[in-house]
């Protein structure tokens, strides 16, 4: 494709982690295709990189079967309208960024109509719903995967695949940033810092906020001198968390709510309580002790539990193939259990010595100059 042409590249990201991936990919592609246009569904990071968002990303940021069912009609309507507009404008390539329940169906429809398609971030076919592989093979011209063990899974099924590493491993520094982060956040000398990451979606906060706050209350009762940091991604999630804070009568907690600044909050932490998802990997790349917690609608949990293929849900544990860090899920994710696990993470000398070494090995494995590798794959797919 000529460097002087102005192709349209369609994209859909459904949540904050996808927006991050999309923004970095757009920046890398602009170096090669300065006149390219990018449009579809994306968040603030992608928009700052010059992306034209046709629909708000927040409409797709729903997790769990019960929650999706409540929003199903609206999501299907968006997908239908988006497909129609993509077919009218005929992008040179459509890239679905994660959000597989939305994107794979859309990719299938577009590919049938002659639009080249790529999916960036493999669905967790190695964890559950392995039957998806057949659907994926019909939906995409190429799959971009973030983890090395995923590449062989797709090769065995004949799906064109490229391992690109994870962009978080490129942007998170190897050197310890704790002191500078604490200085930036004005943490007092000698304070222990616990960062709470209850999720980026509104639906996650509704299930996790009260549990995280009750856990913080228990930790504060048992350990003096703790400062809690809570970075939240939007005004809506902040309102949900603050409402829970008042409902739990926890206004006196030594707790600071941050608008964004999640990496500073992780970097400053002695330990992190984190909802399952990309934030577990981010915490691992900063080499911080963590406890992974998750709760969802009971119906969703029962369905997903039956479909699990392996014992781990946190990305550091999945990549390592062992329980590097504790996972407390659904009924086990009680404030009492979480508080005890967090205190263990703060005080266990073996954990604090050995865990950073194992997390550093994961960092080295995933550091692959991801955006440039992904951009190379995109250009190959477009030519």
Strand, coil or helix: 352: helix
The C-alpha angle with vertex 85 and arms to 79 and 89, in degrees rounded to 5, equals 140
DSSP state of 142: E
Is residue 49 located within the same domain as residue 128? yes
Residue pointed to by tokens 């999640």: 262
CATH value at residue 102: 3.40.50.2000
CA–CA separation, 22 vs 344, rounded Å? 37
Is residue 375 located within the same domain as residue 345? no
What's residue 120's pLDDT?
96
Tell whether 2 is covered by a domain: no
Tell whether 173 is covered by a domain: no
Tell whether 351 is covered by a domain: yes
Is residue 159 located within the same domain as residue 199? no
Q: What is the pLDDT along the chain (383 residues), one digit of tens a residue?
A: 544 568 999 999 988 889 999 999 999 999 999 999 999 999 999 999 999 999 988 766 555 444 554 556 778 889 999 999 999 999 999 999 998 889 999 999 999 999 999 999 998 754 445 567 888 999 999 999 999 888 988 998 899 999 999 989 999 999 999 999 999 999 988 889 999 999 877 878 888 899 999 999 999 999 988 999 999 988 888 999 999 999 999 989 999 999 989 999 999 999 999 997 889 999 999 999 999 998 866 666 665 665 555 677 888 998 988 889 999 988 899 999 999 999 999 999 988 889 999 999 999 999 999 999 999 999 999 98
Is residue 246 located within the same domain as residue 292? yes
**Full domain range(s) for residue 313:** 178-366
Tell whether 324 is covered by a domain: yes
pTM of the model: 0.79
Is residue 26 located within the same domain as residue 152? yes
What's residue 113's pLDDT?
96
Cα-flanking dihedrals φ and ψ of residue 294, to 5°? -160, 140
CA–CA separation, 193 vs 263, rounded Å? 14
Is residue 122 located within the same domain as residue 221? no
Is residue 149 located within the same domain as residue 199? no
Domain count, the chain: 2
Tell whether 171 is covered by a domain: no
Burial code of 337-369, b = ≥16 C-beta within 10 A, e = fewer?
bbbbbbbebbeeeebeeebbebbeebbeebbbe
DSSP strands (E only) in 260-347: 271-275, 290-294, 327-329
What's residue 61's pLDDT?
57
Report yes or no: 223 and 254 within 8 Å, Cβ to Cβ: no
CA–CA separation, 216 vs 196, rounded Å? 9
CA–CA separation, 321 vs 258, rounded Å? 33
Tell whether 193 is covered by a domain: yes
How is 277-329 classified by DSSP, letter by letter? SHHHHHHHHTT--EEEEE---HHHHHHHHHHB-SS--SHHHHHHTS-SS-EEE
What's residue 285's pLDDT?
97
Is residue 352 located within the same domain as residue 373? no
What's residue 125's pLDDT?
58
Considering only CA atoms, which of 343, 331, 336 is closest in space to residue 289? 343
CA–CA separation, 140 vs 115, rounded Å? 10
CA–CA separation, 48 vs 299, rounded Å? 38
């Amino acid at each position: 494709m000529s460097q002087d042409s102005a192709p349209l590249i369609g994209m859909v990201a459904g949540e904050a982690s996808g927006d991050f991936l999309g923004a970095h990919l757009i920046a890398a592609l602009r170096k090669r295709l300065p006149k390219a246009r990018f449009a579809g569904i994306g968040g603030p990071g992608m928009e700052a990189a010059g992306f034209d968002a046709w629909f708000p990303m927040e409409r797709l940021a729903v997790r769990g079967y019960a929650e999706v069912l409540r929003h199903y009609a609206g999501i299907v309507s968006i997908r239908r309208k988006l497909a129609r507009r993509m077919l009218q404008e005929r992008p040179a390539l459509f890239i679905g960024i994660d959000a597989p329940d939305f994107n794979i169906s859309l990719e299938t429809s577009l590919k049938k109509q002659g639009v080249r398609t790529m999916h960036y971030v493999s669905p967790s076919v190695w964890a559950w719903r392995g039957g998806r592989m057949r659907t994926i093979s019909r939906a995409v011209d190429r799959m971009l995967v973030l983890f090395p063990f995923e590449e062989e899974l797709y090769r065995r099924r004949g799906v064109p695949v490229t391992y690109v590493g994870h962009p978080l491993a490129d942007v998170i520094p190897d050197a310890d940033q704790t002191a500078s982060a604490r200085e930036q956040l004005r943490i007092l000398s000698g304070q222990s810092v616990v960062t709470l990451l209850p999720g980026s979606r509104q639906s996650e906060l509704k299930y996790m906020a009260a549990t995280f706050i009750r856990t913080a209350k228990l930790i504060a009762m048992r350990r003096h001198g703790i400062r809690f940091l809570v970075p939240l991604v939007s005004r809506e999630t902040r309102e949900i968390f603050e409402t829970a804070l008042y409902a739990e009568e926890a206004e006196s907690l030594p707790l600071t709510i941050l608008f964004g600044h999640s990496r500073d909050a992780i970097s400053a932490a002695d330990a992190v309580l984190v909802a399952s998802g990309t934030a577990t990997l981010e915490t691992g790349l900063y080499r911080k002790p963590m406890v992974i917690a998750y709760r969802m609608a009971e119906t969703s949990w029962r369905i997903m539990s039956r479909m699990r293929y392996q014992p781990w849900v946190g990305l550091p544990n999945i990549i390592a193939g062992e329980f590097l860090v504790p996972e407390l899920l659904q009924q086990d994710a009680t404030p009492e259990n979480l508080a005890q696990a967090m205190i263990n993470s703060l005080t266990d000398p073996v954990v604090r010595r050995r865990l950073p070494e194992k997390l550093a090995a994961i960092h080295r494995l995933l550091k692959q100059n991801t955006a440039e590798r992904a951009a190379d794959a995109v250009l190959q797919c477009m030519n």
